[in-house]
């Protein structure tokens, strides 16, 4: 279990077993049932979550009540309301559980302590954030340059596993279209083959 976290870290920085032990001290493991809301707008996000099992998502709800999914968090991923977590201002997003999950919880203040005790983590999270940034930059450009169908194709190549285990309305929301349009698009797409 704990291995998934350290496997992940090991992809970018090499920790000693002593350093791993320190990190372990600050990680709390927890399980949540589907539909549990971990963060909602107005909260202060004191925690970041590392997913061991299950699926979470982060999203906003607009004035018309439509949800817009920013990210799916699957095993091996971190998730929180970055804005709130980093600035300690009010959250703007929901984080909730889509499939029963096990997570590690890290408190904001503990992360700051860990940065001091295990400086390598500074690098680890830098690299993690860099990769996340690249992905988000690409997503901004994709939303501007590609059609819904192209975004769908791209998504299904990038996350072939997610596509079959989630209600498709969530995929529509991630892609940036309505469930109705997504349905029509998909049937047109399949008819072509």
Binding to its own copies (CB under 8 A) within 15-44 occurs at none
Name the one range near DNA by CB under 7 A: 15-23, 48-56, 70-78, 170-178. Answer: 170-178
Q: Round to whole Å and give the CA distance between 105 and 72.
A: 17
* H helix or E strand, kind and range, residue 106: strand 94-107
Residue 153 engages its own copies in binding (rule: CB under 8 A): no
Beta-bridge partners for 49: 79, 105
Least distance CB 100 / its own copies (angstroms): 26
Residue 15 engages DNA in binding (rule: CB under 7 A): no
Residue 186 engages DNA in binding (rule: CB under 7 A): yes
- Angular region, 89: left φ>0, alpha ψ -120 to 50, beta rest: beta
Cα dist from 64 to 61, 83, 107, 168, whole Å: 8, 23, 33, 20
Residue 184 engages DNA in binding (rule: CB under 7 A): yes
Q: Round to whole Å and give the CA distance between 104 and 106.
A: 7
Residue 148 engages DNA in binding (rule: CB under 7 A): yes
**What would the x/- binding string for DNA be over residues 106 to 145, using CB under 7 A?**
----------------------------------------
Burial class (CB within 10 angstroms; exposed 0-12, middle 13-18, buried 19+) of 83: middle
Name the one range near its own copies by CB under 8 A: 38-46, 63-71, 101-109, 157-165. Answer: 63-71
Please, which residue, 34 or 133, has the CB nearer to its own copies? 133
If contact means CB under 5 to 8 A according to the sort of partner, which of its own copies, DNA, none does residue 52 touch? Answer: none
Q: Which residues bind DNA (CB under 7 A)?
A: 64, 66, 147-149, 167-169, 176-187
């Amino acid at each position: 279990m704990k291995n998934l976290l350290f496997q992940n870290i090991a992809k970018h920085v090499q920790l000693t077993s002593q350093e791993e032990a320190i990190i372990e001290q600050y990680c709390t493991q927890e399980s949540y049932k589907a539909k549990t809301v971990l963060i909602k707008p107005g909260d202060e996000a004191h925690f970041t979550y590392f997913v061991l099992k299950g699926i979470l998502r982060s999203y906003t709800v607009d004035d018309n009540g439509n949800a817009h999914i920013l990210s799916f968090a699957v095993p091996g991923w971190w998730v929180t309301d970055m804005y709130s977590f980093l600035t300690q201002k009010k959250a703007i997003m929901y984080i909730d559980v889509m499939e029963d999950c096990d997570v590690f919880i890290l408190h904001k203040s503990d992360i700051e302590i860990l940065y001091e005790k295990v400086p390598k983590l500074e690098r680890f999270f830098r690299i993690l954030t860099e990769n996340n940034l690249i992905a988000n930059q690409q997503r901004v450009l994709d939303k501007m340059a590609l059609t819904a169908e192209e975004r769908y194709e791209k998504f299904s190549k990038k996350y072939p596993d997610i596509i079959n285990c989630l209600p498709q309305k969530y995929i529509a929301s991630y892609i940036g279209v309505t469930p109705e349009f997504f349905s029509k698009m998909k049937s047109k797409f399949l008819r072509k083959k």
